[in-house]
Amino acid sequence: MNDTKQHQMRFDELCRVAELPEQYVVEIVEHGIVEPYGQTPEQWVFTTHMIVQAKKAVRLHQDLNIDWAGIALAIRLLDEIEQLRDENSLLKQRLNRFTHC
């Protein structure tokens, strides 16, 4: 994840701003797709990254009719692919420093 400023949002704000049904957000949290700070929905606080993940999960659920458990797996795999791409890019940069000397 990059170093951009993180914003935070409460459960009710997330539902309203992202136009997500409360039940969808609860399902997303229950399946570990996002892990907000706080113990109960009234206390939950979401970061920018979590908000993006929640919206991505809802799109997958609605557009592809994937169940929440499948979405949790898909998002973890997508995140892992992104991490591997970033690592691969970094390693290529390091390699180029040695091969162009």
Give CA–CA dist 58/24, Å, rounded.
7
Q: In this structure, which amino acid lies at residue 62?
A: Q
Terminal alpha carbon distance of the chain:
31
Query: In this structure, are residues 62 and 14 in contact, taking their beta carbons and an 8 Å threshold?
Result: no
Provide the 10 A C-beta neighbour count for residue 69. Answer: 12
pTM, two decimals, is 0.76
For 50-99, write each residue's pLDDT tens digit: 998 999 999 999 999 999 999 999 999 999 999 999 999 999 999 998 88
Is 60 exceeded by the pLDDT of residue 8? yes
Q: Mind listing the pLDDT tens digit for each residue in 16-60?
A: 988 889 999 999 999 999 999 999 999 999 998 899 899 999 999
Topology of domain 8-99, CATH: Multidrug-efflux Transporter Regulator; Chain: A; Domain 2 (1.10.1660)
pLDDT of res. 4 = 56
Helix (H) or strand (E) holding 30: helix 22-30
Domain locations along the chain: 8-99
